[in-house]
Amino acid sequence: MGKNALVTGAGGFIGSHLVEGLLARGWEVNALVHYNSRSGWGWLESSRARPGLRVTALDVTDPFQVRQTVQGCDVVFHLAALIGIPYSYSAYSSYFATNLNGTLNVARAALDAGARCMVHTSTSEVYGTARYIPIDEDHPLQAQSPYAASKIAADKLVESFVASFGLTAVTVRPFNTYGPRQSTRAVIPTIITQALGQGEIFLGSLRPVRDLTFVEDTVAGMIAAAESGVPGQVYNLGVGQGISIGALAELLCDILGVPAVIRADEARVRPEASEAWQLVSDNRRAREGLCWMPRVGLREGLVATVDWFRHHLHLYPAREYSV
């Protein structure tokens, strides 16, 4: 397996951790960040001087630029996507333009470039509310939000390229990755920043159950998929244990040492039929096929995440609801 990788969405939460993980393992990395007028690299700003790293600003919806950039890469890690579920209720056209058409451009470019492997990043949200627990990769796909629909479409597009054109691609489905740098569009940063910033925590429904995976474990699973994954195969990357949002908030308050008050906020509640009530993974395929195992326990990972947020709280306006 080559050690020359291209990473789309590299300036984001998981993408920046993946870039750092690849560099630490001796890979050469071309990190693609979304073009912006400030020439910013997102969470890769502190990595500007890292040897082995090249950063390219582009938009994955531009097929010509993507095709040019992918040339010469052994492995393509595709993470570029719009991910906020609430925002997908109002900006659904943008979600399909980025998540579906962007994936089309990356898959076509990887095929044309003769890349050895494309690792496509899916999401546990494609499963919708579990019909059985734990959820394996054969669970039906259910589009319970425009975001989930756009990701299902992208997954199926990659599947079709494997079958129709021989694209060497694998799909990974992380289950609620968390850790340092995550946006307050996710529940754990939302709880932490509110608890530290104002002592009150405003959340939507407390009943959904999530399988929480520390970002370092997710990154290890992605790299393992690139090195050992079977083309056309899907791999769940989750711990296999669930916790409700309410219990998670209480656990975080205990770690924080803050007697925060948890309040319901109707503006944060997803429509009843759109909420995925239980997402708990069956990770046996990744364990057996990739020799991958999550190594960071929930409390250990939350402690590390809390510590990072304590030192970077100024970057997160606690009173704003991020969609």
Structure confidence by residue, pLDDT tens digits, 16-61: 999 999 999 999 999 999 988 777 899 998 887 789 999 999 999 9
What is the CA angle 203-238-134, rounded to 5? 90
**Can you give the length of the chain in residues?**
323
User: What is the percent of the chain where pLDDT is above 90?
Assistant: 87
Helix and strand totals (H; E) in the chain: 11, 14
Identify the CA nearest to 216 among candidates 166, 181, 266: 181
Per-residue pLDDT, averaged over 124-153, amounts to 98
Res 54: pLDDT: 95
Question: Model confidence at 297, in pLDDT bands (50, 70, 90)?
Answer: very high
Per-residue pLDDT, averaged over 164-178, amounts to 98
* Angle between helix 298-311 and 187-197 (nearest 10): 50
Per-residue pLDDT, averaged over 179-198, amounts to 93
Q: Determine the Cα–Cα distance for residues 10 and 13; give it in Å rounded to an integer.
A: 8
Task: Report the mean per-residue pLDDT for the chain.
Answer: 94
Cα separation values, 30 from 20, 58, 63, 70, 216, Å: 12, 12, 17, 9, 20
The answer, yes or no, to whether residue 122 has pLDDT greater than 60, is: yes
Q: Determine the Cα–Cα distance for residues 213 and 271; give it in Å rounded to an integer.
A: 25
Least confident of 144-158, 209-223, 263-277: 263-277
**Tokens standing for 132?**
């059985």
Per-residue pLDDT, averaged over 2-9, amounts to 92
Query: Residue 143 class from Cβ within 10 Å (0-12 exposed, 13-18 middle, 19+ buried)?
Result: middle
The answer, yes or no, to whether residue 318 has pLDDT greater than 60, is: no
What is the CA angle 284-175-142, rounded to 5? 95
The SS3 call for residue 135 is: strand
Res 266: pLDDT: 87
Res 2: pLDDT: 59
Res 320: pLDDT: 65
Question: Model confidence at 317, in pLDDT bands (50, 70, 90)?
Answer: confident
Q: Is 166 left (phi over 0), alpha (psi -120 to 50) or beta?
A: left
Task: Report whether 210 contacts 245 (CB < 8 A).
Answer: yes
The answer, yes or no, to whether residue 232 has pLDDT greater than 70, is: yes
Identify the CA nearest to 154 among candidates 113, 102, 225: 102
Res 319: pLDDT: 61
Q: Determine the Cα–Cα distance for residues 26 and 39; give it in Å rounded to an integer.
A: 26
Res 39: pLDDT: 78
Look up residue 29 and give its amino acid.
V
**Tokens standing for 275?**
């909420």
